[in-house]
Amino acid sequence: MRRITRGAAALVLVTAAVATVGTGTAQANDKPVYGCPGGAVCIYPEGAAMESSTPTDIFYSYGPHNLSNQYGYHVVLNNQYGGAGATAQLCTGYNGVNCVATIQMNYNVNYNLTPINSIVLNRP
């Protein structure tokens, strides 16, 4: 049952990740995008569009970051730069354990963060 859920979540992520920020290429993006500083991964308020809100959480450093009080659907924007390997992962476990979704550089997703307990920023 978990495999089916994970597969469905991955399909939703791939489908949701069709919207790009900037050019959608692997070029450096050191400028703010919708209030998210260059080089950061940002989480926006629950149910809010990133175009009309400011991030509630901004992460700069590589590695896992534990989340708290994030429920429902939030836009998560990966505004890192440095190459295609600059990904962000959403994980159900604390400290980057059991990652279920990957967000490529210059992409955003609208994701249900209720089961998500950490986010990992990966080095390019």
Average pLDDT, the chain: 83
Residue 26: pLDDT above 80? no
Residues 21, 77: Cα–Cα separation, whole Å = 9
> Among candidates 27, 23, 21, 25, which has minimal Cα distance to 41?
21
For residue 83, the model assigns a pLDDT of 83
pLDDT at 8 over 50: no
Task: Return d(Cα 34, Cα 16) in angstroms, integer.
Answer: 18
This prediction's pTM: 0.77
